[in-house]
């Protein structure tokens, strides 16, 4: 139940965030330091003949052909996006689409071949070793797909690792680690070793370890894909709860579209290294950029994602409408029963109560069952 | 795609080619003029005498060389001092304190029965009057292993951190592990002469590869995510090494140390030839004087030491692997202080009362009954009555139908044909590169003046390998089908692999007298475990789904074995055969000590008479032979890898 509530909350906020972002990016178009993460034209090519491979990729040459001709793998091509303060930015794509490489570029675990990544106003590519280390010690943290726990350290020493390498005293780091272990609900497991824990518990340790350094930015590399479906749902809910409290910026990688919809304030969809579409879950479901993206949206329960504002037809003053109006932000889920029983158009009003559109059953059904 | 066709073509190079080659070359011999026989002796380039001259010059001039005065001599002196200090310390402590201490340590790690057995085992060394020798061997080994670890771990770390270093080191380590132990003695002998320090240096070099290899491996095997996690929290490279990589590499490093200990122990007897002393010396002298009983006593002491050290270091590896969870068990630290105090009190009491020696009344020896048994065996088992049964007829049979014809064929027929045959086998197994290598290699052996001896050794090797395969392969297949057989065989194979190669000679000499055959029998015993083990492993690790698929077509057991299991197990089986070939070759050389003839005997002579040149020639020939045989069997094994394995 808790999950559902959060689910709905997410989407109400989404519109506001998206608008704020639009306004923001217009305002700060000349000073892009407004966002915690800015990536422009990022490329990552594995192999030696980088220039050839990039040229071919620009000409839309197929990945396997590029590999055959130049021996290079273009993992990320020309990725440009921004991540806003406090949002969950999901990068979604199938395996091999370059999403894991992209997230590694954001922390320079992998050096980008071309392009610029700016973290908190600092250019990541030009950052000297020492500053990069400081950035990782204080600003960015990461959670890994297979947990990345240190098998030779107890849970508490795993969680305290980040504090240990930046030189915190034993007392301080254990105190903080205890807090984090409690935060993720693992009280009493502090002195166990990772192999004594279940998958879900291991990932809680991974999460606690990442949170222990009080990061501003959290990177998640498919953190829940190794977990059972039920545990995965718990962890997703927990993550949303944590984000509510901590308000840090998160970049979340997944191959699961429904996970992307559930967690993402905005979603970037990747296909063979390139970002195909960036948008709110609703934008993507309502207006998929191409057939590739549409394929993902087919199984989505649209009435839970789409809102009145997206599917309404324009309002013209000569229309005569009866009945109680619904809000722009209302989910179709809530309106559908009425629409189906009454069988006539329903007016839509904006935040100030002005009529701004109308829900036509025919138009709505086209949105809901469009293939 | 292109590589696929090339590979499958190579994969199908039929075994019939080999038969054809034999016939063709046989015919060639008939066609060639009579005069061409063994490699012409006058083509001997005379490397041996030259090496001896260099050594002479070296010995007479080395006192004036700076490297000796300021590097080798001080180094050698300090190692010698360390060795002696350690030895004296161990000897000063009364034997019963040792026994109690070892018993406690084993009890801590292996449980009470292990502790009691180890404590009792310590009595063996004392009761047989081998205490001093045992301590000598043990301290030489401990210092050697400590040095090997002190050198090997940092080198392994370097290799793990730099692909350059690793790529440079790998071929060196590979060839170091193919070389028979005694090959290391020769250059050491050349530069350092006969003494304890040189034998220690040889031991260190011989035992070094596993530590380096497994340190490197352990660090490289740390999961990428673990490294990334370390980096993401801003670890410096030093922090990453100390806090992330090394702790996770510990089990692997300990496994390397275990292997190093076993290797150091296996060279103990051979190192005695250049003055290592200790138990090895004891075995060597006893064998030389034909006192089999005494040799068995000292040999058993080595085996006992090997088993104890193996079990102990193995249990440490296990503890390391289990991580911290197991560390809290067993005795507490406080009890360790108590135990240490008790041991010290025992030692002090012993010193003040003068009870340090083992009471002579309690000494015993089982050498006499063994000597008696040897005589009995020699008189009775050699031939049972007038029947053609017994070890004598058996070894005659092997000689008449196995080693002699092959030796005569290889060493007396036209040498160019033999070279060609070698080249052909190399090409068949691996390709053009190896063809060239083996042709050059065999010609070099001829130029060293070692042609006849090498062919002698080769024929012994081939017979021993064939015997090992004929016995081992069916055993492996049988073990793969019956769990009880596998379980029963495991301790036997473990023991065979733990015993230093040298110790196989003793019982074999009892039964087969001296000569080529006892050497071959010892080689078979020494080298058979890998074939059995890997045949069993290879068949057992065939994907069960594939086996089930074949069963769904209604195969018989025999069809399943020949059509599914053996072909799929072939790479593993051949890896076993490769190991067996290398072990046989190492053993055939050692068999020189019991009259095995061939290169081994020559090398032994070279070492015994300090004829370094001769040892050098024989050693170089063995190295060449070992490398060719290793590459051939490896190439053969590689061709059996299913072609799909390097795609994707």
Residue A2 has pLDDT above 90, yes or no: no
Average pLDDT value for residue range B370-387: 74
Instruction: Report whether CATH 2.40.110.10 matches the domain B392-415+450-642.
Output: no
**pLDDT category of residue B13 using cuts at 50, 70 and 90:** low
Give the 3-state secondary structure of residue A228.
coil
Residue B389 has pLDDT above 60, yes or no: yes
What integer pLDDT is reported at residue A249 of this predicted model? Answer: 93
Q: Domain spans of chain B?
A: 95-127, 133-323, 392-415+450-642
Q: Which helix (H) or strand (E) holds B250?
A: helix B246-266
Average pLDDT value for residue range B258-282: 83
DSSP state letters, B41-81: GGG---HHHHHHHHHHHHHHHGGG-HHIIIIIHHHHHHHHH
| Residue at token pair 């090496």 | B51
Determine contact, residues B444/B47, Cβ cutoff 8 Å: no
Q: Which residues contact B134 (CB under 8 A, 6 or more apart)?
A: B125, B278, B279, B301, B305
Distance set, CA B476 to CA B183, B532, B533, B557 (Å): 32, 4, 6, 16
Please tell me which residue of chain A has the smallest CA distance to B242. Answer: A165
Please tell me which residue of chain B has the smallest CA distance to A191. Answer: B325
Q: Which two tokens stand for residue A34?
A: 């407004």
Least confident range of A200-204, A249-253, A308-312, B406-410: B406-410
Say which CATH topology domain A304-369 has: CBS domain Like (3.90.1280)
**pLDDT category of residue A20 using cuts at 50, 70 and 90:** very low
Superfamily of chain region B133-323: MetI-like (1.10.3720.10)
| CB within 8 Å: B325 and A193 | yes
Q: Give the residue from A324, A308, A298 showing the smallest Cα distance to A356.
A: A308
| Residue at token pair 């620009």 | A58
Residue A330 has pLDDT above 50, yes or no: yes
Measured between alpha carbons, how far is B637 from B582 in angstroms, rounded to an integer?
Answer: 14
> Span A2-33+84-101+124-139+215-300: which CATH code?
3.40.50.300
Residue B219 Cα, gap to closest chain A Cα (Å): 13
Q: Give the residue from A282, A216, A268, A244 showing the smallest Cα distance to A14.
A: A282
| CB within 8 Å: A136 and B239 | no
What is the signed CA dihedral for A250, A253, A256, A262, rounded to 10 degrees? 10
Measured between alpha carbons, how far is B477 from B566 in angstroms, rounded to an integer?
Answer: 9
What integer pLDDT is reported at residue A239 of this predicted model? Answer: 92
pLDDT tens-digit series, residues A211-259: 999 999 999 999 999 888 889 999 999 999 988 888 889 999 999 999 9
Q: Dihedral sign, CA of A326, A332, A338, A342?
A: positive
B248, B250, B323 ranked by CB distance to A193: nearest: B323
Average of per-residue pLDDT values in chain A: 85
What integer pLDDT is reported at residue A370 of this predicted model? Answer: 66
Measured between alpha carbons, how far is B559 from A181 in angstroms, rounded to an integer?
Answer: 58
- Does A127 contact B at CB distance below 8 Å? no
Residue B240 Cα, gap to closest chain A Cα (Å): 9
Most confident range (mean pLDDT) of A335-344, B309-318, B472-481 is B472-481
For chain B, percent of residues with pLDDT exceeding 70: 89
Please tell me which residue of chain B has the smallest CA distance to A165. Answer: B235
**pLDDT category of residue B630 using cuts at 50, 70 and 90:** confident
Contacts of B248 in chain A (CB under 8 A): 150-152
| CB within 8 Å: B324 and A152 | yes
**pLDDT category of residue A201 using cuts at 50, 70 and 90:** very high
Residue B321 Cα, gap to closest chain A Cα (Å): 9
pLDDT tens-digit series, residues B18-72: 777 777 777 776 666 666 666 777 777 777 777 778 777 777 776 677 666 677 7
Residue A17 has pLDDT above 50, yes or no: no
DSSP state letters, A128-145: -HHHHHHHHHHTEEEE-T
| CB within 8 Å: B234 and A196 | no
Average pLDDT value for residue range B449-454: 84
Q: Which helix (H) or strand (E) holds B324?
A: none
Please tell me which residue of chain A has the smallest CA distance to B325. Answer: A193
Average pLDDT value for residue range B132-140: 90
For chain A, percent of residues with pLDDT exceeding 90: 47
Q: Give the residue from B143, B163, B162, B253 showing the smallest Cα distance to B204.
A: B143
Least confident range of B315-324, B469-478, B525-534: B315-324
Which B-chain residues 571-610 have CB contacts (< 8 A) with chain A?
none
Residue B323 has pLDDT above 50, yes or no: no
Half-sphere exposure of B412 (CA within 13 A, CB side): 6
Mode of pairing for the β-strands spanning A73-83 and A37-46: antiparallel
**pLDDT category of residue B599 using cuts at 50, 70 and 90:** confident
Measured between alpha carbons, how far is B308 from B105 in angstroms, rounded to an integer?
Answer: 11
Q: Give the residue from A197, A205, A107, A160 showing the smallest Cα distance to B243.
A: A160
Average pLDDT value for residue range B247-254: 89
Q: Which helix (H) or strand (E) holds A39?
A: strand A37-46
**pLDDT category of residue B627 using cuts at 50, 70 and 90:** confident
Q: Which helix (H) or strand (E) holds A359?
A: strand A355-359
| CB within 8 Å: A148 and B243 | no
Distance set, CA B70 to CA B77, B78, B79, B143, B190 (Å): 11, 12, 14, 22, 19
Residue A15 has pLDDT above 50, yes or no: no
Least confident range of A244-253, B278-287, B310-319, B426-435: B310-319
What integer pLDDT is reported at residue A21 of this predicted model? Answer: 42
- Does B229 contact A at CB distance below 8 Å? yes
**pLDDT category of residue A24 using cuts at 50, 70 and 90:** very low
Q: Which helix (H) or strand (E) holds A177?
A: helix A170-183
Contacts of A137 in chain B (CB under 8 A): 233-234
Distance set, CA B329 to CA A88, B315, B360, B502 (Å): 46, 14, 40, 39
Residue A12 has pLDDT above 50, yes or no: no
Burial of B304 (0-12, 13-18, 19+ CB in 10 A): middle
Determine contact, residues A177/A156, Cβ cutoff 8 Å: yes
Contacts of A217 in chain B (CB under 8 A): none
Least confident range of A113-127, A193-207, B368-382, B454-468: B368-382
Is B392-415+450-642 the same fold as B133-323? yes
Least confident range of A30-34, A93-97, B407-411, B559-563: A30-34
Q: Domain spans of chain A?
A: 2-33+84-101+124-139+215-300, 304-369
| CB within 8 Å: B228 and A148 | yes
Please tell me which residue of chain B has the smallest CA distance to A107. Answer: B232
Give the 3-state secondary structure of residue B301.
helix
Q: Give the number of other CB atoms < 10 A from CB of residue B509.
A: 24
Residue A39 has pLDDT above 80, yes or no: yes
Residue A5 has pLDDT above 60, yes or no: no
B399 or B32, higher pLDDT: B399
| CB within 8 Å: A152 and B323 | yes
What integer pLDDT is reported at residue B14 of this predicted model? Answer: 64
What integer pLDDT is reported at residue B318 of this predicted model? Answer: 67
What integer pLDDT is reported at residue A13 of this predicted model? Answer: 41
Contacts of A133 in chain B (CB under 8 A): 234-236
Q: Which two tokens stand for residue A111?
A: 């050096």
Half-sphere exposure of A166 (CA within 13 A, CB side): 22
Contacts of A107 in chain B (CB under 8 A): 232
Ramachandran class of A116: left when φ > 0, alpha when ψ lies in -120 to 50, beta otherwise: beta
Distance set, CA A127 to CA A122, A131, A136, A171, A293 (Å): 8, 6, 12, 32, 36
Least confident range of A24-38, A304-318, B78-92: A24-38
DSSP state letters, B382-393: SS-TTSS-SHHH
Ramachandran class of A64: left when φ > 0, alpha when ψ lies in -120 to 50, beta otherwise: alpha
Measured between alpha carbons, how far is A79 from A42 in angstroms, rounded to an integer?
Answer: 5
List beta partners, residue A349.
A327, A355
Q: Where are the beta strands (DSSP E) in B422-474?
A: none
**pLDDT category of residue B644 using cuts at 50, 70 and 90:** very low
Measured between alpha carbons, how far is B336 from A298 in angstroms, rounded to an integer?
Answer: 69
pLDDT tens-digit series, residues A71-123: 899 999 999 999 999 999 999 999 888 999 999 999 899 999 999 999 998 99
- Does A161 contact B at CB distance below 8 Å? yes
- Does A69 contact B at CB distance below 8 Å? no
- Does B244 contact A at CB distance below 8 Å? yes
**pLDDT category of residue B386 using cuts at 50, 70 and 90:** low
Please tell me which residue of chain A has the smallest CA distance to B240. Answer: A165
For chain B, the helix, strand and coil percentages under 3-state DSSP, each to the nearest 5? 85, 0, 15
What integer pLDDT is reported at residue A1 of this predicted model? Answer: 36
Q: Dihedral sign, CA of B254, B260, B263, B264?
A: negative
Q: Which residues contact B333 (CB under 8 A, 6 or more apart)?
A: none
Average pLDDT value for residue range B281-301: 84
Determine contact, residues B543/B497, Cβ cutoff 8 Å: no
Residue B307 Cα, gap to closest chain A Cα (Å): 29
pLDDT tens-digit series, residues A168-183: 999 999 999 999 999 9
How much is the pTM?
0.75
What is the signed CA dihedral for B95, B97, B98, B102, rounded to 10 degrees? 150
What integer pLDDT is reported at residue B405 of this predicted model? Answer: 79
Query: Helix and strand tally (H, E) in chain A?
Result: 17, 14
Q: Which two tokens stand for residue B312?
A: 């102990």
A146, A165, A195 ranked by CB distance to B239: nearest: A165
B483 or B403, higher pLDDT: B483
Least confident range of A75-79, A159-163, B586-590, B621-625: B586-590
Please tell me which residue of chain B has the smallest CA distance to A193. Answer: B325
B170 or A210, higher pLDDT: A210
Contacts of A138 in chain B (CB under 8 A): 234
Please tell me which residue of chain A has the smallest CA distance to B248. Answer: A152
A137, A146, A219 ranked by CB distance to B225: nearest: A146
Q: Give the number of other CB atoms < 10 A from CB of residue B176.
A: 17
| CB within 8 Å: B234 and A136 | yes
What integer pLDDT is reported at residue B229 of this predicted model? Answer: 92
pLDDT tens-digit series, residues B579-588: 898 888 888 7
Measured between alpha carbons, how far is B333 from B342 in angstroms, rounded to an integer?
Answer: 14
Residue A131 Cα, gap to closest chain B Cα (Å): 10
A151, A166, A219 ranked by CB distance to B248: nearest: A151
| CB within 8 Å: A149 and B236 | no
Contacts of A149 in chain B (CB under 8 A): 226, 229
Residue B354 has pLDDT above 50, yes or no: yes
Which B-chain residues 305-344 have CB contacts (< 8 A) with chain A?
323-325
């Amino acid at each position: 139940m808790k999950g559902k509530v959060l689910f709905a909350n997410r989407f109400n906020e989404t519109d506001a965030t998206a608008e704020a972002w639009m306004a923001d990016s217009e305002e700060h178009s000349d000073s892009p330091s407004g966002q915690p993460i800015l990536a422009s034209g990022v490329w990552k090519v594995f192999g030696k003949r980088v220039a050839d491979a990039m040229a071919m990729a620009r000409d839309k040459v197929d990945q396997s052909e590029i590999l055959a001709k130049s021996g290079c793998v273009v993992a990320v091509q020309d990725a440009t996006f921004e991540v806003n303060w406090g949002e969950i930015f999901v990068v979604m794509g199938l395996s091999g689409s370059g999403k894991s490489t992209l997230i590694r570029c954001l922390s320079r675990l992998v050096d980008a071949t071309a392009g610029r990544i700016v973290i908190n106003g600092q250019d990541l590519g030009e950052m000297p070793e020492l500053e990069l280390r400081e950035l990782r010690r204080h600003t960015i943290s990461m959670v890994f797909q297979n947990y990345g726990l240190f098998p030779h350290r107890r849970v508490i020493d795993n969680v305290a690792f980040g504090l240990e390498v930046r030189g915190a005293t034993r007392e301080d780091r254990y105190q903080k680690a205890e807090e984090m272990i409690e935060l993720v609900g693992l009280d009493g497991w502090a002195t166990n070793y990772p192999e004594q824990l279940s998958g879900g518990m291991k990932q809680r340790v991974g999460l606690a370890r990442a949170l222990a350094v009080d990061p501003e930015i959290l990177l998640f590399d498919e953190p829940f894909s190794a977990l059972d479906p039920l545990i995965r749902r718990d962890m997703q809910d927990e993550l949303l709860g944590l984000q509510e409290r901590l308000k840090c910026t998160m970049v979340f990688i997944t191959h699961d579209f429904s996970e992307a919809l559930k967690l993402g304030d905005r979603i970037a969809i990747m296909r063979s290294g390139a970002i195909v579409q960036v948008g709110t879950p609703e934008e993507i479901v309502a207006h998929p950029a191409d057939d590739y993206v549409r394929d993902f949206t087919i199984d989505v329960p649209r009435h839970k994602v789409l809102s009145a504002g997206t599917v309404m037809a324009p309002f013209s003053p000569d229309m005569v409408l009866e009945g109680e109006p619904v809000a722009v932000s209302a989910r179709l889920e809530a309106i559908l029963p009425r629409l189906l029983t009454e069988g006539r158009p329903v007016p839509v009003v904006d935040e100030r109560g002005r009529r701004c559109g109308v829900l036509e059953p025919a138009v709505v059904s086209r949105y809901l069952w469009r293939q | 795609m292109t590589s696929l066709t090339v590979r499958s073509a190579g994969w199908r190079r039929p075994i019939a080619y080999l038969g054809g080659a034999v016939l063709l070359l046989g015919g060639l011999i008939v066609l060639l003029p009579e005069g061409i026989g063994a490699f012409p002796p006058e083509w001997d380039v005379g490397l041996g005498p030259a090496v001896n001259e260099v050594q002479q010059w070296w010995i007479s001039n080395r006192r004036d060389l700076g490297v000796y005065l300021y590097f080798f001599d001080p180094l050698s002196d300090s190692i010698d001092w360390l060795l002696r200090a350690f030895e004296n310390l161990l000897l000063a402590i009364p034997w019963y304190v040792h026994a109690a201490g070892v018993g406690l340590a084993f009890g801590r790690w292996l449980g009470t029965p292990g502790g009691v057995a180890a404590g009792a085992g310590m009595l063996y060394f004392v009761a047989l009057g081998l205490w001093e020798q045992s301590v000598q061997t043990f301290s030489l080994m401990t210092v050697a292993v400590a040095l090997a670890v002190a050198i090997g771990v940092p080198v392994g770390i370097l290799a793990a951190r730099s692909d350059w270093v690793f790529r440079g080191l790998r071929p060196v380590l590979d060839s170091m592990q193919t070389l028979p132990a005694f090959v290391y003695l020769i250059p050491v002998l050349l530069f350092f002469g006969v003494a304890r320090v040189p034998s220690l240096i040889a031991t260190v070099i011989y035992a070094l590869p596993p530590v380096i290899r497994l340190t490197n491996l352990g660090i490289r095997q740390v999961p990428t995510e673990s490294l990334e996690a370390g980096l993401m929290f801003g670890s410096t490279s030093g922090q990453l090494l100390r806090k992330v990589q090394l702790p996770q590499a510990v089990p692997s490093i300990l496994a390397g140390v275990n292997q190093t200990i076993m290797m150091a122990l296996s060279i103990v007897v051979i190192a005695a030839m250049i003055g290592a002393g200790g138990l090895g010396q004891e075995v060597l002298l006893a064998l030389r004087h034909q006192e089999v009983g005494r040799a068995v006593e000292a040999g058993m002491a080595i085996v006992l030491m090997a088993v104890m050290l193996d079990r102990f270091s193995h249990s440490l590896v296990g503890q390391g692997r289990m991580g911290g969870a197991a560390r809290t068990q067993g005795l507490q630290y406080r009890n360790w202080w108590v135990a240490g105090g008790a041991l010290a009190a025992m030692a002090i009491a012993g010193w003040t009362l003068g009870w340090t020696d083992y009471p002579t009344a309690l000494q015993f020896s089982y050498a006499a009954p063994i000597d008696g048994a040897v005589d009995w065996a020699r008189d009775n088992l050699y031939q049972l009555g007038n029947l053609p049964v017994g070890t004598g007829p058996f070894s005659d049979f092997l000689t008449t139908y196995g080693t002699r014809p092959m030796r005569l064929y290889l060493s007396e027929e036209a040498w160019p044909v033999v070279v060609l045959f070698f080249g052909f086998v190399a090409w068949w197994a691996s390709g053009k590169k190896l063809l060239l290598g083996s042709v050059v290699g065999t010609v070099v052996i001829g130029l060293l003046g070692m042609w006849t001896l090498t062919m002698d050794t080769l024929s012994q090797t081939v017979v021993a390998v064939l015997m090992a395969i004929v016995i081992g392969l069916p055993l492996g297949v049988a073990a793969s089908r019956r769990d009880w057989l596998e379980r029963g065989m495991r301790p036997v194979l473990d023991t065979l692999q733990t015993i230093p190669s040298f110790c196989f000679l003793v019982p074999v000499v009892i039964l087969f007298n001296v000569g080529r055959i006892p050497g071959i029998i010892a080689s078979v015993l020494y080298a058979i475990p890998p074939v059995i083990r890997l045949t069993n492993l290879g068949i057992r690790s065939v994907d069960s789904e594939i086996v089930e698929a074949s069963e769904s077509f209604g195969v018989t057991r025999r069809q399943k074995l020949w059509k599914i299991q053996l072909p799929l197990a072939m790479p593993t089986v051949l890896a076993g055969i490769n190991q067996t070939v290398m072990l046989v070759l190492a053993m055939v050389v050692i068999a020189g000590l019991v009259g095995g003839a061939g290169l081994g005997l020559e090398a032994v002579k070279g070492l015994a008479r300090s004829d370094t040149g001769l040892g050098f020639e024989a050693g170089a020939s063995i190295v060449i032979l070992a490398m060719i045989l290793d590459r051939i069997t490896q190439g053969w094994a590689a061709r059996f890898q299913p072609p799909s394995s390097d795609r994707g």
